[in-house]
Amino acid sequence: MDQSFYVYALCRPSGSVCYIGKGRGKRWKANGSSGNPHLRRIVRNAGGDLPKFKLREGLSEHDAFALEKGLIHLLGKVKNGGPLVNITDGGDGVSGLRHSLKTIRKLRQKQKGNKYRLGQHPTPETRAKLSASKKGRPLSLAHRKALSRAQKKRPPCSEETRRKISAAKTGKKWSPERRAILRAANRSREPEVRKRISRAVRAAMKRPGVLDKYRLAQTGKKHSEETKAKMSLAQKRRYLA
């Protein structure tokens, strides 16, 4: 019986375990080159490499799968409140898979000229291509609900992350084109969706300290004559409706 398998762990730069895997040979040094986008993002943000170590060696494939599955269940995935970004529950690898020469040629041809590599940020040209490929692509209702559930399950941002987001957005002004797109998107929402967003905003403003922060941000801010006219017209429409 082949006893060359092992179970390994990849860690975030902070030291917390982010991935549990099973493999043999140099599999554990791959640094998340698989199809796991969450792991690839962690690797990219860490500069292309993560701390790693083997948990147990000299296992049969069956025992390695069992240990991998048990550890994933014990530590838990991010969507269940745990630290792991594993997509599956483990025990479902494809050891020994070998692509045919025809498949290898297709994969090689597909990757030619692709500069978007693991550990590197995409170039402006690649960003433009990715953006163009997604524009105008409608999301199904099931897809939108799945995205909504995923966002709701995400842990809250740390204070440091909140400060970074705030600093990145401070003083940033949207272009007229961006404003027009957002305005059209808001007007196209269903009435029930707009009501739900409005209720959420009002509830957020009632939280302790939020209103004070908003008042402080608005203090001393002067609107242009054009903005004043728009605000006045919007208020008149609101009360006359």
Gap between the Cα atoms of 30 and 27, Å rounded: 6
For the chain, percent of residues with pLDDT exceeding 90 = 12
Q: Which of 7-11, 45-49, 98-102 has the highest mean pLDDT?
A: 7-11
Q: What is the pLDDT of residue 192?
A: 81
Answer whether residue 21 is part of any domain: yes
Which residue, 55, 73, 93, sits at the end of a domain? 93
Q: Which of 14-18, 42-46, 116-120 has the highest mean pLDDT?
A: 14-18
Answer whether residue 225 is part of any domain: no
Q: Which of 11-20, 31-40, 140-149 has the highest mean pLDDT?
A: 11-20
Q: What is the pLDDT of residue 31?
A: 65
Find the DSSP H helices in the chain: 37-45, 61-75, 101-111, 124-134, 141-153, 159-169, 176-187, 191-205, 210-218, 225-240
Compute the chain's Rg from CA coordinates: 25
Structure tokens at 49: 């490499």
Which residue, 35, 59, 93, sits at the end of a domain? 93
Answer whether residue 72 is part of any domain: yes
Confidence label for 75 from pLDDT (cuts 50, 70 and 90): very high
Judge contact between 8 and 52, C-beta under 8 A. Answer: yes
C-alpha count within 13 angstroms, C-beta hemisphere, residue 203: 6
Answer whether residue 191 is part of any domain: yes
Answer whether residue 145 is part of any domain: no
- The better pLDDT of the pair 141, 71 is held by 71
Q: What is the pLDDT of residue 10?
A: 92
Judge contact between 119 and 47, C-beta under 8 A. Answer: yes
Answer whether residue 25 is part of any domain: yes
How many Å from the N-terminal Cα to the C-terminal Cα in the chain?
Answer: 79
Residue 6 reports pLDDT greater than 90: yes
112-126: per-residue pLDDT in tens?
Answer: 766 555 556 677 888
Q: Containing domain of residue 186, as a range? A: 177-217
Could you identify the residue written with the tokens 């004559």? 225
Answer whether residue 237 is part of any domain: no
**Count of domains in the chain?**
2
- CA-CA distances (angstroms) from residue 76 to 1, 18, 126? 31, 10, 34
138-178: per-residue pLDDT in tens?
Answer: 778 888 888 888 888 887 888 888 888 888 888 888 888 88
Angle at 50 between CA 49 and CA 51, to 5 degrees: 135
Query: Poorest-confidence range of 22-36, 65-79, 149-163?
Result: 22-36
Answer whether residue 83 is part of any domain: yes
What is the reported pTM?
A: 0.43
Q: What is the pLDDT of residue 47?
A: 81
